[in-house]
Every structure is written in structure tokens, then in C-alpha cells.
A and B are shown apart, each in its own frame.
Chain A
Amino acid sequence: MSNPSMRSNSPFLLAMRRFKRHKLAIASFGLLLTMIVLVIFAPFLEQMLGVDGNQVNLFNQKSAPSAEHWLGTDELGRDVLVRLMHGGRISLFTGLIAALAAATVGTVVGLFAGYFGGRLDAILMRFTDSVIALPLLPLLIVLAAIDLKKIGLPDSVAESDMVSFYRIIVIVALVGWTTVARLVRGATLSLKEREFVMAAEGVGASHMHIMFKHIFPNLISPIIVAVTLSVGNVILLESVLSFLGLGIQPPMPSWGNMLTNAQELIWDAPMLAVYPGLLIFITVISFNFLGDGLQDAFDPKAEV
């Protein structure tokens, strides 16, 4: 009985078709995919080349590219290419997780504010506006500089390798949720008016049921766009903090902290200062193009 000529295309297919028109976005997607694959395979590359990215070799500092070290060595004699790949793993991984963490917080705030409206909405939005109005980087620096032992974390945790990783994610989530919150609130406000929400209420659905089973599934597209657009910013934040020595701590490599000593390196080994930053730049701009393309694909009315 369903006549094929009367069917409409699924909203997802329509979006994909619009996305394909965005050449830059497609290119970015391809680039990012390649990058992700490469960094995932960093350990294998290490084995293949027979090189250990952490091995310090003070007799071979800042050497030029060679057969053994394709991009040369850094100031401690470590292979640059392998370090870059490991750093990429950390930077990309941190960026994605932190962006997702921030998006989670933002989604909950925006969903509750948009759905319940009234006083809860007003309070949450005032709070959101206040957080937006704070100076980002100085606050992040203070948050990153906190002595974790003073807030009660046991010594073993506070001094572990992974703690800098978790810390970045937490502080980015603490300040980075506001964009998603605003976006989700707006989308929720319009979704709330759709008849299927009233229909759900009509069959006895509770508020939670409506929010999470009806509204949230329809929020996924705008959330994906928001997350993609924010990953770039998060990567920039992580790299700045790592550069300043407050983010990912050495010896764990991140593109940011590979540049920490770059100011001295530019005098005699300039390429060491170029590679990590270039990679950050390429990654961030790709995420931005991708996010832009996705935004156009999912909601062509939003972008002019």
C-alpha cells in the first residue's frame, strides 16, 4: 500500500546530498580520516621503522632528515616523525573527548532549559551567559595550575601520567559547554512545539520520557554540528595550555608541548618549530571546514 512515488527521502539522505556539494568539507573529511588512521597506526609505524619515539639520543640532536629518521630528530635526539604521530594521537584524542564532554554538559543544560522554560530556563540561561562572559584563557590557566593534592586527590593519582590528560578534559568541559547549551536550548524550544511531542504527552509520557526519547533523538544532528565545530577550538585550547606547560605534560607528547621550547629552537632547528604547529593548523581548519559543511547540510537556513 505504500506507493514509492509518494515517499519522501529520509532527512539524513537529503543532508548527505547537500553535504556532498561542499568540496572543502569533503576534502577536510578525507584529510581528517587519513590523519586519524595514520595516528592510530603510530605504534605500528614505530615498529616498522625500528624506531622508539621516546628514546633519547644526545649524540644525535636536531639532526636533519635521514633514512633512519625521516624528519630528523628533535632537541633530545628523538625521532620527529614518530613523536609527531604520537602527539597527534594525544591531541586528537584529547580534543575529541573534551569536546564530547563539554557537549554532554551543554546538552543537559540546554535540554532542561528549553523544555521546562520559565524560571528554570531563566536561571540556567543567566548562568550560561555569565560563564560566557568570563575571560577564557586566564581562567583555564588558573584551573590548570591548581595543585591537585590540595583538593584531596591522593598523591599517586595526582602525580600519575594520565592526570594531565584527565585534567584538560575536565577543565575544557567546565568552560566549553556554553555554545552547545545555547544551541540545544534553541533546538529544544522549536522541537517542543511539534505535534509529536504533544502526542507523546497525550499517551501519558512523563517529562523525562519526552525529553530523552522524543526530543533528544532529534537533537543529534545539531549536536554533531556543534561538536565538530568545537573540536577545533578545543584542540587549540589544549595546544596552548600544553605549550605553556599546563596541559599534557612531557614526556607524553602533544603537538602543543612539542612547541614549548620552540622559541629557542627557531635559531638552529626551525623545522622543529614548524611541524607541530602546522599540523595543529591543518587539523583545526579541517574540523572547521567539516563543521561548516555539516551545518550547511543539516540546516541550510542557518548559514547565510
Chain B
Amino acid sequence: MRRFLFMRGLQSLIVLMVMSFVIYGLIGLMPGDPIDLMISADPKMTAADAARLRTLYGLDLPLYQRYLNWLTAALSGDLGYSRLFGQPVLDVLFPALKNSLMLLGTAFVMAVVIAIPLGTFAASKPRSATDYSVNLLAFAGISIPSFWLALMLIMFFSVSLGWLPAGGIAPDGSGFLESLRYIVLPAITLTIVSIGSYSRYVRSSMLEVLRQDYIRTAKAKGASRMRIVWLHGLRNAMIPVVTILALDFGFLFSGALVTETIYSWPGMGKLIFDAVMGNDFNLALVALLFATAVTLTGNLLADLCYAWLDPRIVIGGDEK
């Protein structure tokens, strides 16, 4: 078990390192050159000045050298300065992270709370009208473009009804109810999309469990069908469900990008987008790496859940 943890952790770390190099290279390929930007801001700069600045910033070095310089600085805590915000990158990152977690956490909890009963219900009555309608709703959830859903919600609740703000976050010092007004629409947007996939997972893993255990246990215990489904089935089906949820949490992170942008919710997603579009190299790089790290962690946690709950996999055997 420990060995497995170590290997997977190592693998994730390697991926992160490789991705840091890849992202570093990709960011460098974005339009705009820091020196060019400086030149356009200061027309009195000569070519010689530009060349000197290039050397000063190490921009004339080959890619891997620049990367290593960045890496050494980063590992010692210096993650650079954000051009867009005029602050150190970390100072920009953490508030955004906090906002994202608030939004994602809310959406995640809401989705789970709705999807588990929904999926279980559908699984308990296979091929019934309930099952089909839940399936339909689930398909709708995974097929809807999140940005369009957001627009529709804004249209309805902000424009037509005027109940909720069309975007932004509650100003500092607002009360709980006021903060709620701002978080409702983005959270609902994310929730609807997530419910789609979660309820399908819950349904199929419940069906698996029910198929295996239902016949045996029902005949043995003579318990009522509902009891079997909800107590027994739920407990066992939670295993794969928990795993998948751990996986999805990482995905939520990147999926929220569009939602945050539309609602102008100042979270990590919007930060990444603004940084990339605004050619803020340092910020974009660190934010992207952070997103990668979170997603990788989510995956690792999911693998750990698998391993913890299914001993055969831990022992490290092959599929055969």
C-alpha cells in the first residue's frame, strides 16, 4: 500500500514537472514579447537598450536555461510578479483560489446531494418512467453548453425577473444573504452540469451493486426491497461513487473557468483566462500549474480511494 502510494505520488510529481516545462514553453509561444511590450510603452528605448534588457532578464538564453532559472526561483518561493495586477503572483492567486473553492464547494455539495438520491431512485426502478426521466435529465445535463446555460439563467433571473445580480461577487463586508445572491446563479449553473454526470454514475454503480447483492440478500433476509436498495445498496455503491467524485473535483476546477468568466466571479478559472488573454506570463504560468496540480491531486486521491476500498488493486496485480 505504501509502495503504491509512493509510486503514484512519484508519477504525479513527474507529470507535474513535465507539465511545468511544457506550459513554460507554451506560455512563451503566446503572442507578445515582454520586451516588445516594454518597447511599445516607451518609444525612446533604443535597440541597444532592448538588447541589454533582454540579457538582463535572461531572455536571450535557450529555453531550457530560462526554464531552469524560473524553476530555481519558484522552488525557493519566488513566483514572480503579475503584470496585470501589479502584485506578486501569490498575492493574486490566493484570494482567487478562495473564491473558486467557495463556488466549487457549494456547487459540488449541491450536486452530490441531489444526484445521489436521484441516481439511486432511478436504479431502484430500472426501466421505469422514473428511470427514463432521470436518464433524460442526466443526458440533458451533460449535453448543455455551460456558458449558454449561464446566459439563459442570467436572462431569466437577472434581466426578466431582476431578482439576482447578473454577475460579480458580493462586496467585502456583505452579509450572508447578500453573498448568497451573488453565488446562486453560478453555483446552479455548475450544479446542473455536474448532476448530469453524477446521477448517471450513481445509477450505474447502484445497478451493479443491486444486481450482485439484491437477489442473494433479499432471499436470505426477506427484507423489504426499499430497505435493501437504500441501506445496503447505497453503502456499497458509494465506493465507486466516492472515487469518481474525487476525480471530478479536479475537473470541476477547470470546468468552472467559463462559468466564472461569464459571471465575472473572481476565481482561479477567470484568473487563468484573464492572465492568458492579457499576456501576463508569470501569472498565467503559475495559475496553470496550480490548476494542473489540483487536477493531478484529485486523480491521485481517486486512485487512493480505489486502492483503499479494493484490496486486489493495492497488491499491485495486473488486470489478468
Which residues of A come within 8 Å of B, CB atoms?
A: 126, 129-130, 132-139, 141-143, 145-147, 150-151, 232, 236, 239-240, 243-244, 256, 259, 262-263, 266-267, 270, 273-274, 276-278, 280-281, 284-285, 288-289, 292, 304
Tally of chain B residues near chain A (CB < 8 A):
56
Which residues of B come within 8 Å of A, CB atoms?
A: 11-12, 15, 18-19, 23, 26-32, 139-140, 142-149, 151-152, 154-155, 159, 203-204, 207-208, 211, 250-251, 253-255, 257-258, 261-262, 269, 272-273, 276-277, 284, 287-288, 291-292, 294-296, 299
A223 to B: closest C-beta gap in Å? 21
A240 & B284 in contact (Cβ 8 Å cutoff): no
Measured between alpha carbons, how far is A78 from B297 in the docked complex, in Å?
48
Q: A143-B26, A147-B29, A273-B151 given as contacts; is B139 within 8 A of A244 (CB)?
A: no
A240 / chain B contacts, CB cutoff of 8 Å: 145-147, 258
B152 / chain A contacts, CB cutoff of 8 Å: 273-274, 277
The main secondary structure of chain A at its interface with chain B is helix
A281 / chain B contacts, CB cutoff of 8 Å: 140, 143-145, 148
A244 & B251 in contact (Cβ 8 Å cutoff): no
B273 & A288 in contact (Cβ 8 Å cutoff): no
The main secondary structure of chain B at its interface with chain A is helix
Contact of B29 among A151, A262, A284 (CB under 8 A): A151
B276 & A259 in contact (Cβ 8 Å cutoff): no
A133 & B12 in contact (Cβ 8 Å cutoff): yes
Q: Give 10 A-B contacts (CB < 8 Å), ordered by A residue.
A: A132-B299, A133-B296, A135-B295, A138-B288, A141-B276, A142-B288, A145-B30, A145-B276, A267-B159, A304-B208
A289 / chain B contacts, CB cutoff of 8 Å: 139
Q: A281-B144, A281-B145, A285-B139 given as contacts; is B262 within 8 A of A134 (CB)?
A: no
The residue in chain A whose Cβ has the minimal distance to the Cβ of B277 is: A145
B148 & A280 in contact (Cβ 8 Å cutoff): yes
Measured between alpha carbons, how far is A20 from B155 in the docked complex, in Å?
39
Measured between alpha carbons, how far is A274 from B152 in the docked complex, in Å?
7
A138 & B254 in contact (Cβ 8 Å cutoff): yes
A266 & B288 in contact (Cβ 8 Å cutoff): no
A145 / chain B contacts, CB cutoff of 8 Å: 30-31, 276-277
B172 to A: closest C-beta gap in Å? 25
